[in-house]
Amino acid sequence: MALVGGGSAQSSTPSFPNSPDPALPIQAAPLPDGSTEDDVSAPILLPSSSQITPSQGTTLFPPLTPPVAAPFIGPVLPPLTPPAATPPLIGPPLPPVTLPVTPPALPIPVPDPAQAELGAVRGLWVDAFGPGLKTPAQVAQMVKDARALGVNTLFVQTIRRADCLCSRSSVPRASDRDLTPSFDPLAEVLRLAHAQGIRVFAWVSVTGAGNAAAPNTSPQHILKAHGPAAGLQSWVNRRPDGSYLEGSDIWLDAGIPQAADFMIQSILSIVKNYDVDGIQLDRIRYPDGGAWGYSPQALARYRAETGSKGTPIPSDPTWTNWKREQITALVRRVVLETRRLKPQVWTSAATITYGAPPTDLSGFQKSRTYSDVLQNWPAWTEEGLIDLNVLMNYKQDLVPNHIAWFDDWNKFALSVRGKAEVAAGTALYLNSPDISRRQMQRALSAGLGWVGYAYRTPGVDVYKNGQSQPQGFAVLRKTLTERGGPLTSTLWDIAPPTRYALLGRITGSAQPGGRPVEARSSNGTLLARTVTDGSGYYGFTDLPLGTLEVRVAGQRWQAQLTRPGVLRSPDLLVRDAQIIPALK
């Protein structure tokens, strides 16, 4: 990258690497997003600042003073070292749910093969809260069942709560007494599934940090050094009163740069060390309720970058827009770093579909997905950040409005797909196999792929009525594959879209985050805009080949995009202007 305007580059040679350098019950079943079915359509009322009171047992932090702008080179976080295996704990059981048992007499649509081919993924989520991944025998049976069902992709829970069902990552192993010591579930799934021609996505809970009812016991777990009691070293997401539990769960705050970097490095350690076909970003959002993001560090950043004073109320639009951008920036960095390491790896997200579906982007911006949990997934597909959008479209056909909601969320997702593949994720555990069949047929007829949640609970009778998992899975397989069922052994062998992209970083500023960055062509035509994240990183996707000019902080640099992939530009030194005091 050549320096065009003022400023300096700290390196001169860009690179294009192509290869890696005791259990307590919970209130509802965990979904791939880590949320619960109780979250699917219930309205959320945002409290005003006058309604916010401290919760018992929590610490109320005073607001931090925004840092004074002064040029310095910020610290670089060291690489994380994979810790040793730790003693296990078991995950929470599933509670009962009440549903009607007689499905409505609805016509069964016939899939249009030409449309169905547009979304060829046929997937199954395999979660880590029950049998399926804990022992070699369970993994062998799970892969055998997946093959018999005819799916071509497994979404395997890998990073759960800042810990891993694997042995070669930057986070400690999951604490689960049912997990065979020294056994690497991800490695074994990859070995067996690839032998059967089945793709494997590492499903990662990005912002998940822990569970108070079943904590990870490793001394290396992130909550030991940066947990709720760590004061200003805490990376935990908080409400305005300092409370931090959502149910029993603890979340990391994407607005804290060090926490964001930790999340990114944990995912990249999986990409580097395992031959995964894709990653799926889960819990890539804020917790439900809107009133989150109030960690002292995030508030200090927000004030410094926006000039705002005091503590914003949850509904403050500048505050919510700033937090929403933290999530998008986290996605951008993960995706570009992943593509830089292994361009052939798919990038996917499990996305929220709360409430009634929108008909356009304006309607989406009024949805809970956008305004409550601050997940702007249409922007991710438009920008080219994710290759596969898997909607968590957990609707129940026996609930009023849910049939239309399911179909119309699918329709909306296709309308904003960009270059991304789109799949409907359905709640097997909340529906009978017959209803799951109907939902799958409607999704395929509309041109989407399909992913079912979950292997452990393949039907409502397994979840609610005590049917065994093997019995339930056998019924599901028969229902989806026999008598003209929609699930056939569809091959999904396409590659992710080819991208020409740039990843860069600014350093030397006391406020590296929130800086507007432009990418322009050699003749000055604007190609894209973005902002830097809290660590100064920025990135662009789907750029044209040739000379590219980057403009930030009143300075310009040039780069050459010469081949597909992600160009990592040199770190760019940005000096904040010095204010010289007047002479007396």
Q: Where are the domains positioned within the chain? A: 2-16+499-573, 113-481
Any idea which fold 113-481 has?
TIM Barrel (3.20.20)
Task: Note down pLDDT in tens along the chain; length 584 residues.
Answer: 433 333 434 433 333 333 333 222 233 444 555 454 333 333 333 333 333 333 333 333 333 333 333 332 333 333 333 333 333 333 333 333 333 333 333 343 333 444 344 448 999 999 999 999 999 999 999 999 999 999 999 999 999 999 999 999 999 999 999 999 999 999 999 999 999 999 999 999 999 999 999 999 999 999 999 999 999 999 999 999 999 999 999 999 999 999 999 999 999 999 999 999 999 999 999 999 989 999 999 999 999 999 999 999 999 999 999 999 999 999 999 999 999 999 999 999 999 999 999 999 999 999 999 999 999 999 999 999 999 999 999 999 999 999 999 999 999 999 999 999 999 999 999 999 999 999 999 999 999 999 999 999 999 999 999 999 999 999 999 999 998 889 987 889 899 999 999 999 999 999 999 999 999 999 999 999 999 999 999 999 999 999 999 999 888 889 899 999 999 998 989 877 655 555 54
284/327 Cα distance (integer angstroms): 7
CB 126 within 8 A of CB 199: no
Any idea which fold 2-16+499-573 has?
Immunoglobulin-like (2.60.40)
CB 128 within 8 A of CB 454: no
User: From the CB of residue 219, how many other CB atoms can be counted at a distance below 10 Å?
Assistant: 11
Q: Locate tokens 């016991």: which residue?
A: 217
Residue 188: closest CA among 212, 163, 167, 208: 167
CB 175 within 8 A of CB 216: yes
102/406 Cα distance (integer angstroms): 19
- How far from the centroid of its chain's Cα atoms is residue 260's Cα? 12
**pLDDT score of 51:** 37
Residue 32: closest CA among 205, 202, 185: 205
User: From the CB of residue 216, how many other CB atoms can be counted at a distance below 10 Å?
Assistant: 27
**pLDDT score of 578:** 53
334/566 Cα distance (integer angstroms): 12
Please tell me if the domain spanning 2-16+499-573 has the same topology as the one spanning 113-481.
no
Burial of 455 (0-12, 13-18, 19+ CB in 10 A): buried
529/17 Cα distance (integer angstroms): 25
Cα–Cα distances (Å) from 255 to 51, 240, 291, 500, 556, in that order, read: 24, 14, 14, 28, 27
For residue 116, give the amino acid letter. Answer: A
CB 204 within 8 A of CB 34: no
198/183 Cα distance (integer angstroms): 21
Residue 44: closest CA among 276, 440, 320: 320
Residue 504: closest CA among 488, 493, 515, 496: 515
**pLDDT score of 580:** 53
pTM for this predicted structure: 0.82
User: From the CB of residue 50, how many other CB atoms can be counted at a distance below 10 Å?
Assistant: 7
Beta partners for residue 549, in sequence order: 520, 558
CB 357 within 8 A of CB 408: yes
Cα–Cα distances (Å) from 400 to 104, 294, 356, in that order, read: 11, 37, 11
Task: Reply yes or no: is the peptide bond before residue 454 cis, omega within 30 of 0.
Answer: yes
**pLDDT score of 317:** 97
370/506 Cα distance (integer angstroms): 29
**pLDDT score of 488:** 86
